[in-house]
A and B are shown apart, each in its own frame.
Chain A
Amino acid sequence: MTDVAVGGELPIPRDPSYLGAGYTVSSWLATTDHKRIALLYAVTITFFFFLGGIAISLVRLDLFTPTGDLLSDDTYNKLFTFHGVVMVWFFMVPSIPATFGNFLLPLMIGARDVAFPRLNLFSWYLILIGGFCTLYALIAGGVDTGWTFYTPFSTMFSNTHVIAAALGVFIAGFSSIATGVNFIATTHMLRAPGMTWFRLPLFVWAIYATSLVMVLATPVLAITLVLVIVERWLHLPIFNPEFGGDPLLFQHLFWFYSHPAVYIMVLPAMGVVSEVITCFARRRVFGYDFMVYAMVGIAVIGFLVWGHHMFVSGQSAYASIVFSFLSFVVAVPSAIKVFNWTATLYRGQIGFEAPMLYALGFLGLFTIGGLTGLFLASIPIDVHVTDTYFVVAHFHYIMVGGTVSAYFAGLHYWWPKITGRLYPDPWARFAAILMFFGFNFTFFPQFIAGYLGMPRRYHVYPPEFQVYNVLSSAGAFVLAAAYLLPPLYLGWSLIWGTRAGRNPWNATGLEWKTSSPPPRENFAAPPHVEEGPYQYHPEGFAPERHYRSQGDAA
């Protein structure tokens, strides 16, 4: 087998695709193929996504009226806690890294698999065990602490199944750490010849930066949850004020993970959007180096801003000022990225296929989410809107408007590669637009309600907020409909969709140079890379000048 230089085309593999490499149950459950593991993750997180969605649909249904007439107070608390726990740890954190990261990282760097394939499978089993542990907590009677497990409520007062839920998250945390270790080692050790660091697609950089955060932040959450479990179960006083314990320490440790976790969720989304926007604008990415530094910068500075969750919890005012400043600083690299995506669109030949619609949706919603994040980073405004719907709206703009939009962008962009089939694009475009409207319909009213003072997590609320809640709840059902569409037409395409061919979008990147779906070995011959990413046009190429001169010649 000889190496093949990638400037032109790679030979098409003759082996059967990874989907045809075995049909038994054990060929899936004992697989070490990163592509199959990606699909196992995809099924798992889709399951949890719909569970978390059902929980919050009931909550939104209840909030149509100011009085709590559908659910009891306890059930209401348990449902929003379940929504938070499941969505954060069993959907958002693994979403893009464990599915697209797993599937694409080896393909994009020209490797045969991730560095530690058995560890990769093991991480899937860990998240499965963790997920069932948390599901047990739900079936046994639920948890009412909110997803943050704040002490002393979680350790001393709550009468619900905190231990099982926290244990589930603890176990899932190790899945995250193992995935992170695996991806870091893969990126360092298994890049194809010629695939230098600054030829990596931005998606690889995004996954790499995310993995760093996973490896360095998740252990802190793990130990914090162990302490909550131990304090609750064995009554060893750690955060108990009776013995001089400090609940604020819990918050410090919790947010030391949970703020970087926001970047675990949004960095991979930034990677997906970079791939999609360049492809559908037919442009090289604007400022590749700055995009890389911005992502690494976000990952590093993201570790230094956790205190902005604690402006009103009694930490030192000086600490608050420093955390406020650093929170403004972390917005700079995000702003650089938004600027560069926009500049990439400039003079591009933009196609409005479904993945691009989702990516453009990301751009707008992430910008709104990011800018309202700056409101919250400034102490006086934060004190005013702490624990209101303003905060809820802000982080849903980042996580749902940002990450989930990007997840769907990636799903539509790489669906032909993963399954080998094309989906009906009009339906996909309809779903993308519906999702954008449904999302804004749901969450924009929450900004207003929150600014006017409606607290989050309240079951019963003053009647003057009803109009915003009715809008929000109605929007939630539009959004739910938009989420139900893709499973239908994507499922349809599995059987009746036309064959995709190896590169339906005419995109750059190694993953498009092998067959769709790729074979077990990924490539027919080990690729040898000789050019940078996003070669959609020659360097310095200006389309409008090009076409004008063509017009002159005609």
Chain B
Amino acid sequence: MSAPTKVLRAPWKELARQREGATFGIWVFLASELLFFGSLLLLYTAYRVANPEVFIAAGRETDLWYGTVNTAALMTSSLTMAVAAQAAEADMRRLTIWCLGATVLLGLMFLVFKGFEYAEDIEKNLVPGVNFALQEPAAQIFFALYWIMTAIHAIHLTVGLGLVGRLAIFGALRRIQLRDNPEVEVTALYWHLVDVIWIILYPLIYLMGRS
């Protein structure tokens, strides 16, 4: 087993400052991500205002069960991720690794369910184009946004899985040190962003047609 890589890197002179810097940096990046998803939400809003009935009807075609179970999975993963970050700070190595592992599993679960949901959507001809299931033209826009928003969210989640998985595996192998490592906090903040985005997408996609 090789020695864990050093946590303190140039140009930082002290670890506390480096952690502050890393956290600050990821917050700035998250602001950027908000604008990224914000543009999609703007499109959604504009088109929904223009076609309120069609969007409600189209929203009923989505699968509430998959959406809800996935929401629960992601919310739970947020909890395990938060515990992992706190445990890393308190130098509870085993708890950190278990929680990171649980986060990965919950994230994978989300993706698997999402895959089943996508298969069902394709079965039901909910992909815009010829043979689209719904009559109204604007329903195609709803589903175009559905596919794009959920796919981009899933890509973000996959990146997050890579980051969390890396911490879990290298942490378990003692290749990296988890205590005081700014990467834990940074990864956790990114993971929470992905969750928050889903919490916004969930009502917009699954709930608003069913009130």
Contact = CB atoms under 8 A, between A and B. Distances in A.
A382 interface: no
Given A111-B11, A216-B32, A219-B33, A116 B25 contact: yes
A249 interface: yes
B17 interface: yes
A246 B42 CA distance: 13
A322 interface: no
B123 interface: no
Given A215-B28, A219-B32, A246-B46, A114 B11 contact: yes
A117 B141 contact: no
Contacts of B199: none
Given A113-B10, A190-B11, A244-B47, A236 B147 contact: yes
A272 to B, nearest CB: 24
Nearest to A244: B138
Given A114-B11, A215-B32, A235-B128, A181 B138 contact: no
A537 B28 CA distance: 38
B141 A238 contact: yes
A253 B50 contact: no
A237 B144 contact: yes
Contacts of A244: 47, 50-51, 137-138, 141
Contact of A243 (B24, B31, B141): B141
B148 A253 contact: no
- How many B residues touch the partner, as a band? 35 or more
A243 B129 contact: no
Contacts of A117: 9-11
A208 B31 CA distance: 16
Contacts of B152: 223, 226
Contact of B42 (A113, A182, A184, A253): A253
A371 interface: no
Given A181-B25, A185-B28, A243-B137, A220 B11 contact: no
Contacts of B145: 238
B90 interface: no
B115 interface: no
Contact of B140 (A115, A190, A243): A243
Given A106-B11, A117-B11, A220 B25 contact: no
Interface residues of A, number: 43
A351 interface: no
B21 A189 contact: yes
Contacts of A231: 144
Contacts of B32: 177, 180-181, 215-216, 218-219
Interface string B143-157: 011011000100000
B19 to A, nearest CB: 11
Contacts of B65: none
A226 B36 CA distance: 11
A218 B145 CA distance: 21
Nearest to B143: A236
Tell me which of A113, A222, A223, A253 has the highest count of chain B C-beta atoms within 10 A of its own C-beta: A223
A215 B31 CA distance: 8
Contacts of A215: 28-29, 31-32
A22 interface: no
A188 B24 contact: yes
A245 B141 contact: yes
Contacts of B11: 106, 111-115, 117, 190
Given A235-B129, A238-B43, A230 B148 contact: yes
Interface string B22-40: 1011001101110111111
Contacts of B39: 219-220, 223-224, 253, 256
Interface string A239-257: 0001111100100010010
A189 B145 CA distance: 39
B20 A189 contact: yes
Contact of B31 (A113, A190, A216, A223): A216
A71 interface: no
Contacts of A217: 35
A42 to B, nearest CB: 21
A227 interface: yes
B31 to A, nearest CB: 6
A230 B141 CA distance: 13
A217 B36 CA distance: 9
Interface string A197-222: 00000000000000000011111101
A223 B36 contact: yes
A113 B11 CA distance: 5
A32 B9 CA distance: 12
A182 to B, nearest CB: 7
B36 A222 contact: yes
A101 to B, nearest CB: 16
B36 to A, nearest CB: 4
A229 to B, nearest CB: 10
B140 A237 contact: yes
Given A238-B148, A243-B141, 9 more contacts: A115-B21, A116-B22, A117-B9, A181-B25, A188-B24, A189-B20, A223-B39, A244-B137, A253-B42
7 contacts: A113-B10, A115-B25, A181-B25, A238-B43, A243-B141, A244-B50, A244-B141
